[in-house]
Copies of this chain bind each other. A is one copy, B any other.
Amino acid sequence: MRIGELSRSSGVPVPTIKYYLREGLLPAGELTSPNQAHYGPRHERRLRLIRALLDVGGLSLAGIGEVLEVMDDPEQPVHKVLGIAADGVTPAGREEEAGPDLEEARREVAELLLRRGWHADEWGPAAESLAGVLAALRRAGHGGYIGLLDAYADAAEPVARADLDYVQRRVAREDLVESVVVGTVLGEAMFGALRRLAHIDVSFRRFESPRNLSGPVDPEGSRAAGDGGGRGAGAAAGGAEPEPVG
C-alpha cells in the first residue's frame, strides 16, 4: 500500500509517518518508482506498536528507538530486550546520588532478593531502580512505606508468572520479542490503572460503606443503591468518583 493508505489504516497522519521513517523507527518502504514507496503489514504492525508505546506506555521517541533497535537485532537475547523496554518505562533522571540512603536501600534490596529466593542480580538495573525508590521514600520522610515491600513483592510474583505465561505462547522470535515489549510496557500501565481502581474500591469500603443502614453489605445491593443516584448507600462521600453503575 502507499503511504496514504498506511496513514488511513493506522490512523497516523502522513507527516508523522514520514517523521518516523526519517528517525528510523519505521523501516523504509519498498521503492516501486523513484519517489513512490510501498508499505506492507510489517509497517502497519510496527506503526501500531510505536503508537501503543508512545500513547499508553508513555515512552519517549528516543526510548522507543532504543527498544526497536534491540528488538530488530536477532543477536540480542530476549532478556536484554526486556531490560531496555523496562528502562524506557522508568522515568528519566532516576539517577540517584550515592550516599548513606542509597547504600542502605541497596542492602534492603539484597536482603529482599535473598529472603524471597529471587534469582536476580542485586546490581542490575531493576535492583538499582528499586533501591532508588526506597532511598527516595526514606528521603521524603516516608521510610515506613518500605514496610509494604513484601506485600508488593507477593503481588509482583504471580503477575510476573502470568506475563511469562503469555510470552511463552509465542514461538517466532519476532512475536516473542514484541510480546515482551508490549507486556512490559503496557502491563505496567494496566497494573497502574487496576491499582487505582482497587484504591477507589478499598477507600469506598473502609470510609463510606459502614453507613449502609438499609441492609446487609453486598455488592449487588450497594450497586443498586448507587444506580438510584442518591448519595445514600452507594455514594462516595466527598464524591470521589461517580458511582458504580450496574
Contacts and interface: CB of A to CB of B under 8 A. Distances in A.
Contact of A130 (B140, B168, B190): B190
A8 interface: no
B122 A194 contact: no
A136 B52 contact: yes
B242 A124 contact: yes
Contacts of A31: none
Given A117-B222, A136-B186, A155-B158, A130 B197 contact: yes
Contact of A91 (B11, B57, B80): B57
Contacts of A120: 197, 200-201, 204, 241, 244
A227 to B, nearest CB: 8
Contact of A114 (B86, B223, B234): B223
A183 to B, nearest CB: 6
A162 interface: yes
A140 B175 CA distance: 12
Contact of A245 (B86, B117, B190): B117
A45 B140 CA distance: 7
A121 interface: yes
A188 to B, nearest CB: 5
B194 A130 contact: yes
Contacts of A162: 148, 151-152
A242 B204 CA distance: 34
Interface in A60-111: 77-80, 82-83, 86, 89-94, 96-97, 110
A127 interface: yes
Contacts of A200: 79, 118-121, 124, 126
A194 B124 contact: no
